[in-house]
């Protein structure tokens, strides 16, 4: 999901360089319970901030639209956190509402909404229409809605709820069924690295594949065959980024190895491991053809240098921890080193104490948060990586 502030204001998305302690339990610091509480405050802070993004609320018609960088990773970790939190309940309620009114609601990026967002950003009303794509946003939303509701049900090891069934119906109705892109969905490509770039429709298709893996009874064979064929073409395309190939590998894992053959899967694992830094981390610049970030609506690295960052390390570590193709002591040692990097060097840049009035204060603090979406998303993926690594399985697996 595109961030309207990135298009309107084009801030520098800088990964913080301070080497502070991540909100995970680490050597001699907090107990497991204390560490979970600290991380919960961090994750929920980000959810509160995104919920008050004024432009996102335009798209979502009063509730913030779902974003690849904040809403999705937060939805994947909140069921693992202690207690309950209003932001998550609101998110699920809003997704359910969009799903059940699918035929009557308007796309995130309708012309009217694009005009409102442009005006909010001090731009000409038509300034965003060439960047935003109402039809493309429909594909994005259908997949994210289905995946979020799928994981919400799967974490509870429950059958798919009626809203989840409806979300799948909406998602398959948006799938492209003919032409070169058959099997994928229309996607926003507004140069927001790595979620809205040239091959991001394959990122989205991989997420749809993960959703289908949890409730295969909701995946009609024709739609699933088209999806498999598209991902197989994509994973073999020399132009497909490692960011996307990692997502395809994730889906292959969830599908029990039915998607791609073992040789291709192991090749992706090897390519990812070959890019690991000596300290255990990965850099987002390594995961795609993004050598220069000039002209992008995002920037992870203020000094334009390749260095380990939270997003790449968390995301890659999660995919590798989940994969059954990480075989051998050397590779196990590399994954252990990655988790040491996660535990020791990721950053919690936000206040530890929850807000007294979360909605009002979160809206006031949105300008500071918007410069740290990569760090925030990275922490969520890192928490998932840590969970899978320590438990040897994913919490949503239904036995």
pLDDT tops 80 at residue 90: yes
pLDDT digits (tens, 9 = 90+) for 330-359: 788 898 999 888 887 544 544 434 443 444
Find the angle CA(310)-CA(54)-CA(36) to the nearest 5 degrees: 40
Query: Taking the chain, what is the end-to-end CA distance rounded to the nearest angstrom?
Result: 32
Q: Please state the φ and ψ torsions of residue 192, each to the nearest 5 degrees.
A: -95, 95
**b (16+ CB within 10 A) / e for 185-220:** bbbbbbbbbbbbbebbbbbbbbbbbbbbbbbeebbe
Cα separations (Å) of 270 from 275, 316, 370, 386? 9, 12, 34, 20
Model confidence, pTM: 0.86
What pLDDT does 67 receive?
92
Token pair recorded at residue 50: 């995104």
Q: Which residue has the higher pLDDT, 358 or 146?
A: 146
Helix, strand or coil, per DSSP, at residue 134: helix
The pLDDT value recorded for residue 332 is 82
Confidence of residue 298 (pLDDT cuts 50, 70, 90): low
- The DSSP result for 89-145, as a single string, is HHHHHHHHHHHHTTTTSPPTT-HHHHHHHHHHTTS-TTTTTTT--HHHHHHHHHHHH
Cβ atoms < 10 Å from Cβ of 113:
23
Q: Give me 115's structure tokens.
A: 């005009």
The answer to whether residue 12 scores a pLDDT higher than 60 is no
Q: What is the pLDDT of residue 399?
A: 57
Residue 257: left (phi > 0), alpha (psi -120 to 50), or beta? left
Mapped onto helix, strand or coil, the DSSP state of residue 192 is strand
pLDDT value of position 305: 63
Go through the domains of the chain in sequence order and give each one's CATH number: 4-391 (1.50.10)
Q: Mean pLDDT check: name the lowest of 94-98, 126-130, 147-151, 261-265.
A: 126-130
Taking residues 287-307, report their average pLDDT.
Answer: 62
- As a whole number, mean pLDDT of residues 278-302 equals 72
What pLDDT, in 10s, does the model give residues 93-119? 999 999 999 999 998 888 788 778 778
d(CA 230, CA 207): 13
pLDDT at 313: 93
Asked whether the predicted pLDDT for residue 75 surpasses 70, the reply is yes
Q: Most distant CA pair in the chain: distance in Å?
A: 58
SS3 label, residue 144: helix
The sign of the CA dihedral 107, 112, 115, 121 is negative
> Are 25 and 6 spatial neighbours (Cβ–Cβ below 8 Å)?
no
Q: Which residues contact 159 (CB under 8 A, 6 or more apart)?
A: 153
Report how far residue 374's alpha carbon sits from residue 360's, in angstroms, rounded to the nearest whole number.
24
CB count within 10 Å of CB 35 equals 18
pLDDT at 391: 87
DSSP of 198-248: TTHHHHHHHHHHHHHHH-GGGS-HHHHHHHHHHHHHHHH-TTS-HHHHHHH
Does residue 17 have a pLDDT over 60?
A: no
Q: Is 307's pLDDT higher than 70?
A: yes
Q: Does 28 have pLDDT greater than 60? A: no
The residue to which tokens 């119906």 are assigned: 169
More reliable by pLDDT, 26 or 293:
293
What is the rounded CA–CA span in Å between residue 266 and residue 243?
A: 15
């Amino acid at each position: 999901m595109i961030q309207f502030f990135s298009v309107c204001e084009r801030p520098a998305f800088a990964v913080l360089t301070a080497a502070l302690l991540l909100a995970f339990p680490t050597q001699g610091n907090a107990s497991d319970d204390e560490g979970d509480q600290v991380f919960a405050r961090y994750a929920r802070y980000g959810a509160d901030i995104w919920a008050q993004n004024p432009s996102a609320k335009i798209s979502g018609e009063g509730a913030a639209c779902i974003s690849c960088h904040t809403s999705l990773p937060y939805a994947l970790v909140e069921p693992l956190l202690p207690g309950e939190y209003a932001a998550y309940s609101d998110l699920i309620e809003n997704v359910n509402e969009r799903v059940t009114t699918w035929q009557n609601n308007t796309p995130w990026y309708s012309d009217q909404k694009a005009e409102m967002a442009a005006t909010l950003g001090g731009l000409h009303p038509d300034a965003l229409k060439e960047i935003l794509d109402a039809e493309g946003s429909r594909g994005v939303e259908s997949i994210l809605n289905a995946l979020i509701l799928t994981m919400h049900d799967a974490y509870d090891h429950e059958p798919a709820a009626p809203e989840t069934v409806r979300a799948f119906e909406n998602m398959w109705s948006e799938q492209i069924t003919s032409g070169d892109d058959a099997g994928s969905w229309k996607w926003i490509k507004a140069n927001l690295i790595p979620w809205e770039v040239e091959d991001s429709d394959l990122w989205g298709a991989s997420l749809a594949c993960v959703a289908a893996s949890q409730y295969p009874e909701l995946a009609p064979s024709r739609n699933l065959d088209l999806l498999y064929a598209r991902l197989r073409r994509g994973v073999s395309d020399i132009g497909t980024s490692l960011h996307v190939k990692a997502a395809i590998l994730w889906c292959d894992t969830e599908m029990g190895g039915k998607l791609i053959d073992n040789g291709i899967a192991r090749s992706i694992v090897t390519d990812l491991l070959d890019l690991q830094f000596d300290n255990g981390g990965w850099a987002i610049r390594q995961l795609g053809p993004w050598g220069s970030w000039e002209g992008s609506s995002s920037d992870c690295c203020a000094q334009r240098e390749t260095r380990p960052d939270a997003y790449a390390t968390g995301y890659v570590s999660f995919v590798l921890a989940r994969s059954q193709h990480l075989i051998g002591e050397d590779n196990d040692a590399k994954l252990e080193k990655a988790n040491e990097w996660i535990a020791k060097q990721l950053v919690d840049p936000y206040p530890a104490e929850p807000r007294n009035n979360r909605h009002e204060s979160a809206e006031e603090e949105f300008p500071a948060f918007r410069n740290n979406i990569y760090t925030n998303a990275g922490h969520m993926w890192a928490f998932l990586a840590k969970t899978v690594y320590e438990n040897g399985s994913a919490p949503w697996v239904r036995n």
